[in-house]
Amino acid sequence: MKRRILITGISGLLGSNLAYVFRKRYDMAGWYNSHKVFIPGVDSYKLDITDKQAVREFLSGYKADIILHCASLTNIDYCENNKEETRKINVEGTENIASACISPDTKLVYISTDSVYDGKKGKYIEDDPVSPCNYYGLTKYEAEAAVKKHKNHIIARTNIFGWNIQNKHSLAEWMLYNLERGCGIKGFNDAIFSSIYTIEFARIMDMMLDKDLMGTFNLASRTSLSKYDFAVLIAETFKKDKALIKSISVDDYPFSAKRGKNLSLDTQKLSKALGAKLPSVEECVNLFFKDHESEVCDEIKRWCYPQVCYPSSEIIGYSRQCIDDSDIDSVTEVLKLSHLTQGGKVGEFEKALCEYTGAKYAVAVSSGTAALHIACLAAGLKEKDEFITSPNTFVASANCGVYCGARPVFADIREDTYNIDSEKIKEKITSKTRIVIPVHFAGQICDMEEINDIVREKQIQYKEKIFIIEDASHALGSAYKGSKAGSGVYSDMTVMSFHPVKHITTGEGGVVFTNDDRIYKKLKIFRSHGITSNEDDLVFKDQAYGPNGLNPWYYEQQALGFNYRITDIQCALGISQLKKIDYFFRRRRRIAEAYNNAFADNKLIKAPFESPGCFTNWHLYVVQIDFNTLGIDRADIIKRLKDKGIGTQVHYIPVHTQPFYRKNFGTNWGDCPRAEAYYKKCLSIPIFPAMSDKNIAQVIKSFSEVILRAVVV
């Protein structure tokens, strides 16, 4: 009969990773506080460990053979600044669990920390004096005392890294995340630790439980490294650029809480008890890499969301939204609130977007098109002005400027990325140019550094401000030279869309990012009828104020704005979706990689090219097929694929060839030959996070069969 294990903090880094290793061997349950998880074979319950009565009632009914107590506050600076909350969770919560372990047969396993030591000497053994140098370490040590009152216990002092089930990163994940995107990171050269990979931690803990060990043990890697050397090891193992890592001292970083510098642990006691050697840091990082390659990380992170994704369809479309029950719950909660629009969820969504992209400001609106429009308005675009954009885009990228009465100018694309060619932009800029709108097609970011240099040079030449507005509707999560789309490193504004086929959805919706205070104020006014009630921006102060100060009803229309407001319902969905963005990102990259490998040797299919310096969150996967040379009709190919359950699409008919632009602006075929040549060969095949491995295999098989059959026929 399987032993029964209860894991507290199952929605955390270690708790979820223990569940991954133990779920098939033990009868398992888990407690979470605020982040619900959906782990196959594990019963998860919402329970607050600071609720003594609830803890006692649950444990009296569950009858656990083993309790793995992982739940705690672990952010050292947060703990230092929130001592009352930290004590309540880390100490009182542990006391509640320990006192509720009535049966002496129940094994109580407490996950402690290397921070109980002072970090002055390193290579600590379990009997060394304990002297925490921060409040986190102090509360963890005090909790150890509560655990020791239960005779049948294990206290595991450790430092861990692994795959966090939530949308946040462990140290190793944070390093890898930034290195993949070309972002510079800092590593402490004087902070030594013996961090162990969570999956290895679980394997060793399993051995400890089998041997029925009791007492206090250092459960860590047998070797140690500085955090700088650890970062270098991550870079080397994952084949990333270690030149991005800067060596600094702990003393150079403005932590709120003091850190011990040498927290390396001696693991000989545990090694001797197990009769086995513990892994080295190097071995742990290698296993971390192997699990990354075998998609263990994706499996763990997927558990943070319900396994059912809506809608279900027999047709594998080129793209679609991925909505689950957590998204639905987020929306229904808002429906119970007093504000369905212009409430708190809008600001919450904007803040979350800024935190993710690194932008200073975000203004969420009703659609990506609305975002483009108010961006042009905020830039002051007007009649007789010109703006430059790509012909290889949806018509909204050009329409937004036409709405303002300006004349569109189309600069041709590059043959490799299908993005706008910076040299063509240079040729098209005149004294009338007021805006350049580069479009990050399919998710790959344009050469923004070069575009920025060209535009700034032309500004000097013409002595006129030329705004750069990035149309990043395809590029949420993509990075370029270490900067995320939306960060505004090379532009004045960035626009994104949250249409259902995009990386995350709000149904319809969009956002404008900027780092400029003045632009931000303009965007907010144009979003909502041109109206403001911001006290600092009011014009008629004499009308605004009464005897008791600013009149609460007062507002001013200062411009001709629009009703482009987004609702709280939409933003609640956006907040929920944004929590999944890292998983969505990895899944899209995996699908693109599978396609790249499948089509690598097929001379009839040209796969997308990714520029050096870009880390692309593929919104579209567009292949090029020379239909004319092969004698294949594209419409026939699309129909045959549809018959096999595969949906495809064409992105895009060049904007300058559309009747509206030909009639009103004199554009025509031949204006942008590269975009036109691309259009004649392009076909978008399915890519979206809800695709299963079976779906991917079906697309590859069907696509290859249809193309080859068409050639033979």
pLDDT tens per residue across span 632-658: 899 999 999 999 999 999 999 999 999
How many CB atoms are closer than 10 A to CB 602?
Answer: 14
Average of per-residue pLDDT values in the chain: 95
Q: Where are the alpha helices (DSSP H) in 76-134?
A: 76-81, 83-86, 93-100
At residue 314, does pLDDT exceed 90? no
> Which domains does the chain possess?
4-302 (3.40.50.720), 340-578 (3.40.640.10), 581-712 (3.90.1150.10)
Q: What is the DSSP string of 511-557?
A: EEEES-HHHHHHHHHHHBTTEE--GGG-S-HHHHEETTEE-TT--EE
The pLDDT of residue 654 is 98
CA distance 226 to 261: 9
The stretch 163-189 carries a mean pLDDT of 93
Residue 60's identity, in one-letter code, is S
In terms of Cα–Cα distance, which of 658, 659, 664, 653 is closest to 407? 664
The pLDDT of residue 131 is 94
At residue 536, does pLDDT exceed 90? no
CA distance 245 to 230: 10
The pLDDT of residue 711 is 64
Angle of CA points 66, 69, 75, to nearest 5°: 165
pLDDT tens-digit profile of 49-58?
Answer: 999 999 999 9
Whole-angstrom CA distances from 633 to 626, 705, 707 are 10, 15, 11
Residues 6+ apart with CB under 8 A from 193: 114, 159, 224, 225, 227, 230, 263, 264
The pLDDT of residue 681 is 97
pLDDT tens-digit profile of 607-627?
Answer: 999 999 999 999 999 999 999
- Tokens representing 681? 């060969």
The stretch 7-11 carries a mean pLDDT of 97
pLDDT tens-digit profile of 461-492?
Answer: 999 999 999 999 999 999 999 999 999 999 99
The pLDDT of residue 693 is 92
The pLDDT of residue 712 is 56
At residue 713, does pLDDT exceed 60? no
DSSP state of 39: -
pLDDT tens-digit profile of 446-459?
Answer: 999 999 999 999 99
CA distance 79 to 26: 33
Residue 421's identity, in one-letter code, is D
pLDDT tens-digit profile of 659-685?
Answer: 999 999 999 999 999 999 999 999 999
Residues 6+ apart with CB under 8 A from 639: none
pLDDT tens-digit profile of 60-101?
Answer: 999 999 999 999 999 999 999 999 999 999 999 999 999 999
Model pTM?
Answer: 0.90
Residues 6+ apart with CB under 8 A from 138: 132
At residue 431, does pLDDT exceed 90? yes
CA distance 329 to 280: 43
**Cα dihedral 451, 457, 461, 464 sign:** positive
CA distance 520 to 53: 50
> Contact at 8 Å (CB) between 114 and 193?
yes
The stretch 14-40 carries a mean pLDDT of 93
The stretch 526-538 carries a mean pLDDT of 92
The stretch 412-423 carries a mean pLDDT of 98
> Contact at 8 Å (CB) between 436 and 408?
no
Residues 6+ apart with CB under 8 A from 60: 100, 102
> Contact at 8 Å (CB) between 471 and 444?
no
The pLDDT of residue 123 is 98
The pLDDT of residue 710 is 64
9: phi then psi, degrees, rounded to nearest 5 = 70, 40
